[in-house]
């Protein structure tokens, strides 16, 4: 098995290294990730400029490829042939914060897995539900082992066509996990606020500020599972059609 590992926090992020080390337990790993942080940068296809690819070395000595493109560009470049050897699976992460609810279209971690699916491969995004107020070095060991177990299952069972997995892991020791739940995407409540400031020359500029978003703690959802101590596994599709809205709209008269 040949597994492509990427992320949206940049190639030197500790979550990527933890993920790559766990994936090496089940196959050959190629690391190909952005050279900087692309959090909340969405699903990108860079077409207005060429992309560079550099060889870099990670903290444990692993070789890796880094690009000045987005996470989804990393996956696209790899699948288009920058990585010569056939790839079987794309795993993205480990993101230091959860990706739940409406986060999924913003998230570079998740959109990298979307790009895998568009390229015809199974894609898995892995994120850690770390405490909001945490400072210091996060412990990625539980999430890395969860990622390994999910990847093994995906390789053994397969995924339906055009489906990716969005995996979120509670910040617990492995033996403290309640288990694994297949969930639906829940609701995310953003608490963004405008932070208007003046620069040293008196001209205005704006931060999108506010508080960290919260989730709606509902049974059966991604956030509900995390809050109850379970790993949340949400199958996602790229067909966004709101089918329940179609009938009503078909009655509109033009």
Q: Identify which of residues 12 and 46 has a Cβ nearer to its own copies in the complex.
A: 46
Touching its own copies, residues 114-143 (CB under 8 A): 114, 118
User: Hey, which residues between 162 and 181 contact its own copies (CB under 8 A)?
Assistant: 163, 179-180
Determine which residue in the list 155, 190, 217, 218 makes contact with its own copies, applying CB under 8 A.
Answer: 190
What part of residues 93-112 is at the interface with its own copies (CB under 8 A)? Answer: 102, 104-106, 111
**The binder of its own copies chosen from 59, 131, 135, 194 (CB under 8 A):** 194
User: Please, what is the end-to-end C-alpha distance for the chain in angstroms?
Assistant: 54
- Find the length of the chain: 254
Shortest spacing between CB 83 and its own copies, in angstroms:
11
Using the rule CB under 8 A, which residue among 191, 197, 211, 229 binds its own copies? 197
What is the CA angle 54-58-62, rounded to 5? 90
Asked if 91 interacts with its own copies (CB under 8 A), we say: no
Return the number of the residue (60 or 239) whose C-beta is nearest its own copies: 239
92 lines the binding site for its own copies (CB under 8 A): no
Least distance from C-beta 145 to its own copies, angstroms?
Answer: 12
Measured between alpha carbons, how far is residue 51 from residues 33, 180, 206 in Å? 12, 38, 30
Cβ within 8 Å of residue 168, ≥6 positions away: 98, 99, 100, 126, 127, 128, 129, 222, 225, 226, 231, 232, 234
- According to CB under 8 A, which one of 12, 56, 62, 82 is a site residue for its own copies? 82
- State how far the alpha carbon of 122 is from the alpha carbons of 62, 75, 158, 184, 248, in Å: 24, 12, 8, 19, 35
* DSSP structural state of residue 199: -
Q: Which stretch binds its own copies (CB under 8 A): 26-34, 137-145, 167-175, 237-245?
A: 237-245
CA 169, distance to chain mean position in Å, is: 12
Residues within window 15-44 making contact with its own copies, judged by CB under 8 A? 37, 39-44
- The least CB distance from residue 183 to its own copies, in Å, is 8
Beta strands in 61-203 (DSSP E): 63-67, 89-95, 123-129, 163-170, 179-182, 188-198
* Residue choice 149, 155, 214, 227 for contact with its own copies (CB under 8 A): 149
Among residues 85, 132, 176, 192, the one that binds its own copies under rule CB under 8 A: 192
DSSP helix/strand/coil, 223: helix
In sequence order, the 6+-apart residues with CB closer than 8 A to the CB of 194 are 206, 207, 208, 209
Please check whether residue 124 is in contact with residue 165, taking contact to mean a CB–CB distance below 8 angstroms: yes
212 contributes a contact to its own copies by CB under 8 A: no
What is the Cβ-side half-sphere exposure of residue 198, based on CA atoms within 13 angstroms? 4
Question: Closest distance between its own copies and the C-beta of residue 98, in Å?
Answer: 15
Indicate whether 145 belongs to the interface with its own copies (CB under 8 A). no
12 binds its own copies (CB under 8 A): no
């Amino acid at each position: 098995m040949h597994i492509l590992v990427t992320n949206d926090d940049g190639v030197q992020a500790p979550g990527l290294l933890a993920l790559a080390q766990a994936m090496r337990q089940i196959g050959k790993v190629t690391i190909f990730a952005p050279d900087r942080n692309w959090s909340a940068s969405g699903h990108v296809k860079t077409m207005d400029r060429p992309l560079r690819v550099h060889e870099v070395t990670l903290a444990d000595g692993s070789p890796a490829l880094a690009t000045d493109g987005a996470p989804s560009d990393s996956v696209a470049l790899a699948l288009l042939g920058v990585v010569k050897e056939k790839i079987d699976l794309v795993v993205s992460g480990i993101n230091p914060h959860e990706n739940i609810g409406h986060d999924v279209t913003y998230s570079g971690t998740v959109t990298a897995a979307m790009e895998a699916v568009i390229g015809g491969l199974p894609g898995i995004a892995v994120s850690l539900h770390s405490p909001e107020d945490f400072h210091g070095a996060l412990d990625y060991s539980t999430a890395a082992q969860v990622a390994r177990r999910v990847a093994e299952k995906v390789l053994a069972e397969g995924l339906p066509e055009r489906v990716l997995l969005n995996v979120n892991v509670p910040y617990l020791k492995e033996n403290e996990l309640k288990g694994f739940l297949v969930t639906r995407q829940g609701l995310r409540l953003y608490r963004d606020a405008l932070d208007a400031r003046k620069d040293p020359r008196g001209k205005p500029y704006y931060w999108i500020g506010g508080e960290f978003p919260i989730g709606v703690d509902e049974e059966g959802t991604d956030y509900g599972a995390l809050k109850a101590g379970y790993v949340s596994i949400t199958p996602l599709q790229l067909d966004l059609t709101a089918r329940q809205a179609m009938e009503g709209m078909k009655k509109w008269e033009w």
